Structure 1
Amino acid sequence: MSSSNRYLKFTIKDTDKKKLRKFLEHQHFSSSQLHNLKNKGGQIFVNHKQRHFDFEMKTGDSLLVVLNDEKPSGLIEPMAGSVDVVYEDEYLLVVNKPPGIASLPAKARTSKTMANVVKYYLAAKHENSSIHLVTRLDRDTSGLMVFAKNSYTHSLLDQILHTDGFKKYYLAIVYGQMEPASGLIDLPIGIDSKAYYMRAIDWQKGKDSQTMYKTVEKFKTASLLQLKLLTGRTHQIRVHLSATGHPIIGDEMYSHQKDSRMNRQALHCYELEIIHPVTKKLLKIKAPIPQDMVLLRGMLKG
C-alpha cells in the first residue's frame, strides 16, 4: 500500500491547542480515530520525534500524523471495470458514474457496483482500498460521486456534506415548465406506504427536504433544470419534481409512464463545489452531460 494517503502534516499556530490530543480533537479526529491512531499502528511525530497524546507542543512545531493501515472489509469484492476519474488526490477520489450501475452492493453482493470497481482501481494502485463512499447516486442517475481515501477524510467530508462547504448541482430534463421558473421546493419526504423502496411526500412522518431549482432552458413540452440539494434524502429530486407536477423524463417510478426517448431518468450530477477538508482549497469539479441526455435535449429542441 502506498503511504501517500496516510500522511497529514500540520504547523502549530499561536492560536492552536498545544496538547497533542486536544489539537487532534480540534482537527475533527473522532474518538475512534484517535483510538486507532494509538492502538492500530498509527504514529505521531513532532519535529521528527515520535510523541504521545499528552505531549505539549509549541507554536511553530511541525506535526506529522501517520494514519494506521485500514483493513478493507470483505463485504465489497474488488471487481475490474472502467472508472472515469474526474478528480483525484491523496485524500479523495471523484468519479463520473455512468447510468445503470448501483453505487453500493445490495445484500446479495453479486453484481458489480461503483464501490466494487473503485476498490479494484485503488488496490491496483496499491492504495488503501477500504471503501469510504461519501455521496451515492441512484442506479439510473449519472454523474459525480465522491469517495474518501481514508476514514479521517471521510469523517471531515461527512461533517460538511449538507453545508456551503459541499455543494451538489444536478441537471434534470422534466415534463412541462416550472412556475415560477426558479425557486425552492420545500416538502417533507418519507417512505411510500405502498412500496418500501419508494419515497413520497409525507406531512406526518416525512423528513425535512429542500431542493433549489432554476430553469436553464425551455422547450415546447419540457424544460432543462439545474438543481441544488440542500438536504440529502433518498430519491429527493425525483420525488420533489414529481410532486410539483413536473416529473423527470424517463423516470417510470415517479412519472408513472414509459418514455421511448429515454430509458432512465434524465438526471445527472454535473457539478460539485467542495472546500477540500484537508487543503482547504475550493474544488470545482464538473462532469459533462451524458450522451443520452444530449440526444434527448436535441429531440426536444426539434
Structure 2
Amino acid sequence: MTKTNRFLKFTIGKDDKKKIRKFLVQHKFSSSQLHNLKNKGGLIFVNHKQRHFDYAMKTGDQMLVVLNTEEPSDLIAPMKGAIDVIFEDEYLLVVNKPPGIASLPAKARDGKTMANLVKNYLLEHNENSSIHLVTRLDRNTSGLMVFAKTSYAHSLLDQILHTEDFQKFYLAMVYGQVEPKSGLIDLPIGIDPMAFYMRNIDHQKGKPSRTIYETIETFKNASLLKLKLLTGRTHQIRVHLTAIGHPIIGDDMYSKKIDPRMKRQALHCFRLNIVHPVTKELLNLEAPLPPDMVLLKSVLRGESNG
C-alpha cells in the first residue's frame, strides 16, 4: 500500500471532550477536514473498534484517526530535480530553496518551481503528493521553506505561523551601517499604487508589519543583519529595510541600482524554530549561507580591510 493515508494517535485525557466530533474540533480539525474524514474515506477507531462521530469515549481510551486519501491537484506538475531536504517526517517537509527559483507556479511563468520539485519528490517516495505550502520565499530569496504533507498538518501550522511557536529568522546584507544597531521596524505595508507587484509603506491602507533586526557584523559601507519576522507580508524585509534607508545589496527592485557584486537580493532564511504541531518537539532547523552570500561577505570584509 502506498503511504497516502496518515495516522494520528491520541490517548483521551480527563480534560478532553469525550464525543468524537467535539474531541476532533478541540484538536483543531477544521469543518472541511471533518467533512472529508466522514465522507471521503477517513476512519476512526477507539480501542481498535471503528466508531462514528457521535460515539462517547472515556478517559484513557486509545483513538486512531486514519486521514482520508487526498487527491493531488493537476495544476502543479511534478518535475525532476534535486531538492535539499533539511527535515522530514510524516507531517512536514522542510527544504533549503536555492536562489533563482520561484516557490509556486505563476500564470505568467512556466518552468520549475519548488512546488513542482517537491511534488516529484513526494511521488518518488510514494507519498501523498498534494502540495501544502506553509511558507513561501521570493524567487531571489534563498533558504528554508516549509511544506505540510496533509491538509491537517497544514491547518495546524497555519494556526501557529505568526506566533512564538513558529519563528522565522533571516540574514541580509544591506547598504550602510545601521543605527541603532538593533531594533524593531514597525511600519504598515501596502501595495505600491505605481506597480502592483511592489510594496511600500502605506500609513492609510497598509497592513501592520513588524520586523526585529540585529546587526551581526559591520563593514566599511555595509552591514550583515539578522532579522526576525513577526508578521508575514509580501516583500516585508525588503520594504522595511529600504524604508529605514538600508536596502538589501543586490535588490535592484527596491534599491533602484544594479550591484555588480550580487546578482540578487542578499537575503536568506537561515533558521526556523518550530514547535512541531503534532509531536510538540522543538525543531531548530538551519540552512547554511549560500555560496553567493558567502562570497559577498568576503568581498565586503576585503573592502573594509582595504
Normalised by the size of structure 2, how large is the TM-score? 0.97
Task: Determine the C-alpha separation between the residues in 2 that align with 1:119 and 1:60.
Answer: 39
1:82-161 aligned at under 5 Å gives the runs 82-108=82-108, 110-161=110-161
Residues 1:289 and 2:289 are matched in the alignment: yes
**Partner in structure 2 of residue 253 of structure 1:** 253
CA contact (8 A) 2:4 2:128 kept: no
Offset of 1:158 from its aligned partner?
0.2
Structure 1 residue runs of 4 or more that deviate by more than 4 Å after TM superposition: none
Instruction: Give the aligned residue type for 1:181.
Output: K
**Partner in structure 2 of residue 265 of structure 1:** 265
Encode CA deviations 1:210-234: one digit per residue, 9 max, x unaligned. 0000000010100000000000000
Task: Determine the C-alpha separation between the residues in 2 that align with 1:168 and 1:2.
Answer: 33
Q: Secondary structure at the match of 1:265?
A: coil
**Partner in structure 2 of residue 202 of structure 1:** 202
Q: Secondary structure at the match of 1:36?
A: helix
Instruction: Give the aligned residue type for 1:42.
Output: G
1:66-77 aligned at under 5 Å gives the runs 66-77=66-77
**Partner in structure 2 of residue 184 of structure 1:** 184
**Partner in structure 1 of residue 224 of structure 2:** 224
**Partner in structure 2 of residue 173 of structure 1:** 173
Q: Secondary structure at the match of 1:250?
A: coil
Task: Determine the C-alpha separation between the residues in 2 that align with 1:300 and 1:280.
Answer: 41
Cα separation, partners in 2 of 1:128 and 1:4, compared to 1, 3 Å: closer
Offset of 1:41 from its aligned partner?
0.2
Encode CA deviations 1:166-186: one digit per residue, 9 max, x unaligned. 000000000001110000000
Instruction: Give the aligned residue type for 2:187.
Output: L
Encode CA deviations 1:35-57: one digit per residue, 9 max, x unaligned. 00000000000000000000000
**Partner in structure 1 of residue 243 of structure 2:** 243
Task: Determine the C-alpha separation between the residues in 2 that align with 1:234 and 1:249.
Answer: 18
Instruction: Give the aligned residue type for 1:62.
Output: Q
Q: Secondary structure at the match of 1:154?
A: helix
CA contact (8 A) 1:83 1:95 kept: yes
CA contact (8 A) 1:188 1:208 kept: yes
Q: Secondary structure at the match of 2:168?
A: strand
Offset of 1:109 from its aligned partner?
5.9
Task: Determine the C-alpha separation between the residues in 2 that align with 1:294 and 1:117.
Answer: 26
**Partner in structure 2 of residue 274 of structure 1:** 274
Offset of 1:5 from its aligned partner?
5.9
Identity %: 74
Task: Determine the C-alpha separation between the residues in 2 that align with 1:137 and 1:269.
Answer: 8
Task: Determine the C-alpha separation between the residues in 2 that align with 1:94 and 1:177.
Answer: 33
Task: Determine the C-alpha separation between the residues in 2 that align with 1:243 and 1:21.
Answer: 49
Q: Secondary structure at the match of 1:63?
A: strand
CA contact (8 A) 2:4 2:126 kept: no
CA contact (8 A) 2:82 2:117 kept: yes
Q: Secondary structure at the match of 1:102?
A: coil
Structure 1 residue runs without a partner (length 5+):
none
Offset of 1:283 from its aligned partner?
0.4
Task: Determine the C-alpha separation between the residues in 1 that align with 2:82 and 2:202.
Answer: 39
Offset of 1:110 from its aligned partner?
2.6
**Partner in structure 1 of residue 59 of structure 2:** 59
Q: Secondary structure at the match of 2:155?
A: helix
CA contact (8 A) 1:135 1:146 kept: yes
CA contact (8 A) 1:5 1:91 kept: no
Cα separation, partners in 2 of 1:12 and 1:37, compared to 1, 3 Å: same
CA contact (8 A) 1:5 1:149 kept: no
Task: Determine the C-alpha separation between the residues in 1 that align with 2:136 and 2:110.
Answer: 19
Offset of 1:4 from its aligned partner?
7.3
| Cα RMSD, aligned residues only | 0.9
**Partner in structure 2 of residue 12 of structure 1:** 12
- Paired residue total: 302
Encode CA deviations 1:142-196: one digit per residue, 9 max, x unaligned. 0000000000000000000000010000000000011100000000000001100
Cα separation, partners in 2 of 1:109 and 1:195, compared to 1, 3 Å: closer
Q: Secondary structure at the match of 2:58?
A: coil
Instruction: Give the aligned residue type for 1:237.
Output: I
Cα separation, partners in 2 of 1:291 and 1:212, compared to 1, 3 Å: same
Instruction: Give the aligned residue type for 1:291.
Output: P
Normalised by the size of structure 1, how large is the TM-score? 0.99
Cα separation, partners in 2 of 1:264 and 1:215, compared to 1, 3 Å: same
Task: Determine the C-alpha separation between the residues in 1 that align with 2:217 and 2:162.
Answer: 27
